[in-house]
Amino acid sequence: MGLSAYEDLGELKSPKEIIVNSLSEFIELVTNDNYKNSYFRGEPAPYDSIIASAFRTEYKGFGSNEEYPFLKMKEEYRREVWNSINEETKKNFLGFCQHHGLPTNLIDFSNSPLVSLYFACQNDRDNDSEYGYIYLIKNRCIDITEIFNKGLNNNILEIISSDCEEAVQAFYQLLKEFEKENEKAFYDCFKELVDDYKYVFYDKSPFDSFLCWDSIPESEREINLPEYQDYKKVLNSDNRWSVIFENDSLSHEIDRGNYEQHVVYIYFFFLRLFIKQMIKNKMYNPWFDGLPLMVYKPIFAFNRGIHQESLFIYQNYLSYKEEVYDSHILSLQRIWPDEIIVVKNKNKILHDLDFIGINEKYIYNDFDSIARYIKSKY
């Protein structure tokens, strides 16, 4: 284990760690083109996972009988403030809730490495760590902002598996764009989805409901994804997959695309099938990793969001009651960083950040924060 709390978890390998000792070292590092379009999250202490506030303290996995009522909190907050906020804020209400301390399934990130460095250099009340940590996610995300702007801001997994053609079409187009720009990352998601299906439905093939197994050799019944270099050719010639989308009510409404992107079509309807079967059968699966990370970039009408260059990683989840054991099940998408910057000499770096204008006054930009900043100078 390095200085962070991350360890290998199966195919999820411990992220690369880079140590910086000064502000100048940090600036030299992040101005490298390798970090172009990356997203940054600063933490003052090491954590072994990145989990949204809605799931952080209450997440107990299998065996917990109560769902954390963050959706009820959001609805009550909406009733209290709806008439006092503008139309742009209403469209981005989930982000507004997050910024005002309500638990949500959003995770704060920033486009600004310096803002994240400021947060990494703070003192943590519960963990007196001498180091700060900045978690980086490189630009391998689907931007779901436009889906939210259409008012389709319910649970994204439920939207994907729904019969709402507008929402399904919108997400499918985003998937096609993602695969075009991130072919290997898309393949990795597909493979993870296949592995998740085999883990959850270990005694069942996704083809079971549609095919007569008497006419198919046993060796062909198991679902496997070919190696990356061959998988498009193999999948496009494997007729078994076609029964999944042919039995989906929306398959004829979705454009299959060209030969190269037909795998997106197959993946998408396999994903819909998996989500539907998870919900219908109330299956236990602690992680839901077979889809790309999703980023949400609302337009902020308040200074704090603007100054922090805020954006959010949307943590996908399924939540339902398992009937046999009467237990609540929460299945989460894991947010796994690509790299971790470990920050030493936090106090000195905070001092240098203040000199270039990155401080509490700038970060929060409200009357109370400005007053605290002035008081701290004397």
Residue 307, pLDDT > 70, answer yes
Rounded Cα distance, 309 and 120, in Å = 16
φ/ψ bin of 63: left (φ > 0), alpha (ψ from -120 to 50), beta (otherwise): left
For 310-345, the pLDDT digits (tens) are 999 999 999 887 777 777 888 899 999 999 999 999
Record the pTM: 0.89
Helices (H) and strands (E) in the chain, counts: 17, 10
The confidence band for 61, taking pLDDT boundaries of 50, 70 and 90, is very low
Q: Whose CA is closest to 175, among 207, 143, 129?
A: 143
For 169-220, the pLDDT digits (tens) are 999 999 999 999 999 999 999 999 998 888 887 655 565 554 444 444 454 5
Q: Are 133 and 120 in contact (CB under 8 A)?
A: yes
Q: Are 44 and 51 in contact (CB under 8 A)?
A: no
Rounded Cα distance, 73 and 52, in Å = 15
The confidence band for 64, taking pLDDT boundaries of 50, 70 and 90, is low
Q: What is the gyration radius of the CA atoms in the chain, in angstroms?
A: 23
